[in-house]
Each structure stands twice: as C-alpha cells, then as structure tokens.
Amino acid sequence: MNVLQKVLKKGLCTGCGLCESCFGKAKLAMQHNHNGYLRPFIKQELSQPELRLLKQICPALNCKMKTLTENHYHPAIGNYQGFMLGWAKDNYIRKNSSTGGALSAVLLYLIEQQVVDGIIHVGADPDNPYENKVCVSRSYDEIAANAGSRYMPSAPLVNIDEIIRQEGKYAFVGRPCDVRALRAYMEEKNIIEEKIVVTLAFLCGGVPSIKGTYKMLSQMKLTKEEVIRVKYRGNGWPGKVQAFTKDSQIHEMSYNESWGRYLGPTSQLICKLCFDGVGESADLVFGDAWNCNEKGYPDFNEADGRNMIIVRTKLGDQIIRESAKQEYLYLESAQSNPDIFMNMQPSQTSRRKTALERILGMRFCLSSYPRVDWQYLRKICMRKYWFQLNFRSLAGTIKRVFTTPK
C-alpha cells in the first residue's frame, strides 16, 4: 500500500484537491466518496517521484507549520503581527457574508486597487447545489456572489496549476489546511511564488460531509431534488441556512441548529483531530468574533456582523491597514488583546490545548500520523508540564478515530 492509499484508508485526507492538480485527472480525480467527503479516486498508480512530492505537500502528511513572523506569540492563535476586530464598510457585503464580510472587503481592496488580478476561491456550483466550484473572481459582483461559508466539502486547490499558468497575480482563499498545502507546494516548486502573492484563510472548525446537508434538508421536510440552492450563512450574523426550492420558496433553519445538530457532527476525521483551525500558514485569517454571554460562551443571537482578524505577516499587515485606510474595512481599534480569542472561540482554544493528546491518539490508533514539529506542539499546549496528559481528550481522540466515517 503506498502513502496515498494509506492516507485514504486511515481517513486522513482533507480533500483539498492538490494531488489532482499536481498529478492530473488521468491519474486521480476528486469525487464524493460514499460517506459524502471529497477524496481522490485513484485511476493510475503514482510513480515514486510523485509519491515523494506528495509526502512534502499533502496536508494530511505534512503538518509542519511555517513560522511567518516572530513578532508576537499567543498560545491560542500562534505567531501573529496583529489581532483586531472589524467588518466590511460596504453594508451589502457585511450583511450577506458569513460574519462581517471583512474577508470579502479585503478581497475587494485587492482587486479594485489592482494588488492582484484575480481571487482564487470557492463558490457554489451553479449547476449542482451539492457541489462547490473553484472560481477566479475579478469584480465586486463576483466576490459578493462567492461570499458566505459553504459548510460542505470543497477542493480549492483542484486546478491551482491550471489557474496560475495564466497571466497575472492572484490571492488565494481557503481553509487553514488548504493554505498549508499551498505554501508547501510553493516551496517545492518555487516557480509559483510570485503568482500567489497573498493567502487568506478563515478559522475552521471542520468540513462537514455533504450528508450533513442532506440530513438538514430532510429535517426541513425537503427532498434533495426540489432544492436548487443552499445558502449556509448570510443575511445577518450568524444568519440562517436558507434552502431555495424549485417552486420559489425559501426554507430556513437557525445557525445554532444547523451547525450544532446536522453539519458540525458530520465533520471529517482529520478535522476532528486538527489543531491548526487558526490558520498558522496564512497571511491573514478571519473568523467570527462572537459576543459572549455571562458564562463566557458564544452567543448566537442575531447581531451586526463582526470579524476577528489575525494578521500573520508584514504583507498581511500592510493589506489590512490599506483596506482600512481606503474605506473597505472598518477596524474597531488598531490592535486588540488576543486573550479575548479564548472566550470568543472556546472550541478552537481547546483544540490547541489538547493538540498533544490528538497527535498521540492518532499515533496510537493509526500508526502513521501527520508530520509535526514537537517544539511547536509543546508551545501550543498551554500547560505547566507539557507532557502531562489529559486522558479524557486522549480517549476522545481514540474514540473519534474508530467511530468517524472515513
């Protein structure tokens, strides 16, 4: 069994699609598997040099974070240049995006001020409500149309080689693991370094199976066939899921119910074990700056959208400042204290605190595990004696490895 087959068998694939882009559709092609996750279907064996390249670039195999800045460090968010709260100045973008539209506002700045020629990101496939499609957006309308989180599998790197072979400079938007894979690939093949000038990620709590969407629709008393479009977020913060049907009806479900009961629990195995939901490899990371209730837990009552923004690099810092200066982005203050992250994102924080148990659990059950930097793990665990084990988390990881569909 080669390394790609092992990744698939053990359920470690993230579904990013980079392998299809690198080795070609004739050898492997991304498709939903029977559990509703995007996976490469192998048509032809990969050669030894191809397998060697895969080991370096596949985010399931290479989990080493690149240190992008040494400026500041916080155990919950990692290395950072800046941490701030804000939202898009354009009201339509703010309201219709997932959170506060800060990510799309920065994309607008990058396009309209000609910092890049195109944005590589994911949008809904117009021909199939249960698929995502990689788009290259070049205008306000295209960026606005692709805003909003799509809580279903996506493969943002599936045709990255083809896109960057075209003229121009690009920005890339993806999950933390997509950006990590892209960075590793950029390093391996330095030809593309000047093509993708900036990477943007969003905080990621996991990629749900497409079966989560089916279950959610069925709870809304809808069949797959009658739905023509699903919008998971937007029209407020957190907004509601909206399912648009052929007879022009719109059916809704709250964010709390949709994510909490139907989507979140179907996240793929690698996401349940991941400790890089905060996107340590991206220039900029955007997330929900949830208001917290008196117990310190995020409050999902409707409000005006507000993002948290983690700036990792000098370039990211320059982009955020210019986006604010040129009225694309509103920032509450130039710098916020990252301690507030722990209240706003308790589950992301606990993922980092239990990173050691996640890695050990994977190693125990799967014998192979992503390559990690132990010094890095030690830093993020946030405990006095870093090797002191949290046995509950270890047991939880082991249970997840055995019970999560692959």
Ligand X SMILES: Cc1cc2nc3c(=O)[nH]c(=O)nc-3n(C[C@H](O)[C@H](O)[C@H](O)COP(=O)(O)OP(=O)(O)OC[C@H]3O[C@@H](n4cnc5c(N)ncnc54)[C@H](O)[C@@H]3O)c2cc1C
Name the residues that contact ligand X, by CB under 6 A: 97-104, 121-123, 132, 146-151, 154, 156, 173-175, 202-205, 207, 233, 277, 286-288, 307, 345, 348
User: How many whole angstroms separate alpha carbon 171 and alpha carbon 258?
Assistant: 30
- The residue with its CB nearest to ligand X is 205
Residue closer to ligand X (CB basis): 175 or 400: 175
Residue 235 CB, nearest distance to ligand X (Å)? 12
CA angle, residues 203, 258, 155, in degrees to nearest 5: 45
Residue closer to ligand X (CB basis): 288 or 357: 288
Residue 289 CB, nearest distance to ligand X (Å)? 8
Residue 247 CB, nearest distance to ligand X (Å)? 27
Residue closer to ligand X (CB basis): 281 or 348: 348
- Across 79-115, b (16+ Cβ under 10 Å) vs e yields bbbbbbbbbbbbeebbbbbbbbbbbbbbbbbbbeeeb
User: How many whole angstroms separate alpha carbon 326 and alpha carbon 348?
Assistant: 32
Residue closer to ligand X (CB basis): 101 or 361: 101
Residue closer to ligand X (CB basis): 11 or 234: 234
Cα→Cα distances 176→193, 231, 308, Å? 18, 22, 15
Residue 233 CB, nearest distance to ligand X (Å)? 6
Identity of the amino acid at 170: Y
Residue 283 CB, nearest distance to ligand X (Å)? 14
Interacting residues of 30 by C-beta distance below 8 A, sequence separation 6+: 15, 17, 20, 38, 39, 40, 41, 155, 158
User: How many whole angstroms separate alpha carbon 145 and alpha carbon 128?
Assistant: 16
From the centroid of its chain, how far is CA 383? 27
Residue closer to ligand X (CB basis): 122 or 324: 122
Residue 274 CB, nearest distance to ligand X (Å)? 11
Residue 367 CB, nearest distance to ligand X (Å)? 28
Identity of the amino acid at 75: P
Residue closer to ligand X (CB basis): 152 or 372: 152
Cα→Cα distances 391→25, 354, 399, Å? 43, 10, 12
Residue 49, H or E segment:
helix 48-57
